[in-house]
Amino acid sequence: MSQPGRVDRQPGYLLHTQPYRETSLLVEVLTPQHGRFTLVARGARRPRADVRGVLLPFQPLTLSWFGKGEVRTLHTAEWNGGVPQLSGLRLVCGFYLNELMLKLTARDDAEPRAFTIYDQAVRALAQAHSLSGVLRRYELRLLQALGYAGSFACDVHGELIDPAADYLCRGGALPERASGEPAGPSLCLPGAALLAIEADDYAAASTRRAARSLLRLLLTDLLGEEPLASRELLQAINAIAD
């Protein structure tokens, strides 16, 4: 007899876990077709549980589950491999990816692009030399996919960004050519930097700095001033490295 709400062999990533009852886990997962939701992994904390060594963060999984409520039941989880385990600063960056996904997405709201952006970022973290570029790319593409940010190729009037001009950037709005004193929280950036960010070109240190300031502005507009725990840890590590 098939279980109600049975879904088989879907790609997924684990975003967060917490103990549940004596031997189980509550597992927050991200999938392309079903979005973000919670599974209960029954008996997953038992020493000989089949899924004990499979439910790992930052590893591509194949998941099957059943149930239709807010919390569904994990049936099977398979490890797909192909991504080295993150460690050190890369691991902290991974926690930042997860925290941002949890903050910005709604439960049961499928957005295949968000899953793809996350998958690409995890794989890039394991290999990239510039972790800053990986994080900025992830932040911007995720905000754009979820409708919180637009393209930075055009200004608020639909005109192409002029690389020689300066632009005011505000949360929830497209760039506007700078003129006079800005009103409200805003950031003035050169058009050349905006075009580089839109083109996914973070080779220049000046572009990475501009992108960091821009994404901080956009995320603060969405999430408020309350700091992300993983971002504070990243800043502390970077301060020590400097």
pLDDT in tens, 66-104: 998 889 999 999 999 889 999 998 999 999 999 999 999
Share of the chain above pLDDT 70, in %: 94
What is the Cα–Cα distance from 185 to 173, expressed in whole angstroms?
12
Phi, psi of 55 (to 5 degrees): -80, 80
pLDDT in tens, 143-179: 999 999 999 999 999 999 999 999 999 888 899 999 8
Please tell me which residue, 165 or 235, carries the higher pLDDT value.
165
Q: How confident is the model at residue 17 (pLDDT cuts 50, 70, 90)?
A: very high
Is the pLDDT score of 226 beyond 80? no
Is the pLDDT score of 34 beyond 70? yes
CA pseudo-torsion sign 208, 210, 213, 218:
negative
Please state, in angstroms and as integers, the Cα–Cα distance from residue 3 to each residue in 67, 75, 124, following that order: 7, 10, 37
What is the residue-averaged pLDDT of the chain? 90
Q: How confident is the model at residue 241 (pLDDT cuts 50, 70, 90)?
A: very low
Q: pLDDT at position 82, please?
A: 83
Cβ pair 114, 105 in contact under 8 A:
yes
Q: How confident is the model at residue 237 (pLDDT cuts 50, 70, 90)?
A: low
Q: pLDDT at position 238, please?
A: 63
Residue-wise DSSP of the chain: -PPTT-EEEEEEEEEEEEEETTTEEEEEEEETTTEEEEEEETTTTSTT-TTTTT--TTS-EEEEEE--SSEEEEEEEEE---SPPP-HHHHHHHHHHHHHHHHHPPBT---HHHHHHHHHHHHHHTT-S-HHHHHHHHHHHHHHHTTS---SSB-TTSPBPPTTSEEEE-TTS--EE--S---SS-EEEEHHHHHHHHTT---SHHHHHHHHHHHHHHHHHHH-SPPPHHHHHHHHHHHHH-
pLDDT in tens, 206-216: 999 999 999 98
Q: pLDDT at position 2, please?
A: 60
Q: How confident is the model at residue 232 (pLDDT cuts 50, 70, 90)?
A: confident
Q: pLDDT at position 41, please?
A: 95
pLDDT in tens, 171-201: 888 999 998 666 667 899 999 999 999 999 9
Q: pLDDT at position 56, please?
A: 93
Please tell me which residue, 241 or 31, carries the higher pLDDT value.
31
